[in-house]
């Protein structure tokens, strides 16, 4: 005879769970917003002289790198390879 769990305890043991759907994430929008923030950071960096002179002369290039990576990410996700649903 097998023992039945009490009615107030959920059924199932360790490692058993109901299937969960992955969350829907707007990856194109995230890439676009991130790229726009890098563009804003570049504009601020170029307008304020203290942010692109002296030891901080590499800051605009960091923003340009962020923009380039953001454009690539947006293109890659738009193509469909970055979409987990299509995998």
List Cβ neighbours of 66 (8 Å cut-off, separation of 6 or more): 34, 35, 38, 41
pLDDT band for 80, please (50, 70, 90 cuts). confident
36-72: pLDDT as tens digits: 999 999 999 999 999 989 999 999 999 999 999 999 9
Q: Is the pLDDT of residue 13 over 80?
A: no
Q: What percent of the chain has pLDDT over 90?
A: 48
Would you tell me the crossing angle of helices 27-47 and 59-79 to the nearest 10 degrees? Answer: 160
Mean pLDDT of the chain: 82
């Amino acid at each position: 005879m097998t023992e039945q769990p009490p009615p107030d305890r959920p059924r199932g043991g360790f490692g058993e769970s109901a299937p969960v759907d992955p969350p829907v994430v707007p990856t194109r929008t995230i890439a676009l917003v991130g790229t726009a923030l890098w563009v804003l950071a570049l504009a601020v960096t170029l307008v304020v002289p203290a942010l692109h002179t002296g030891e901080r002369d590499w800051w605009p290039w960091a923003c340009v790198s962020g923009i380039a990576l953001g454009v690539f990410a947006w293109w890659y996700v738009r193509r469909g390879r970055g979409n987990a649903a299509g995998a």
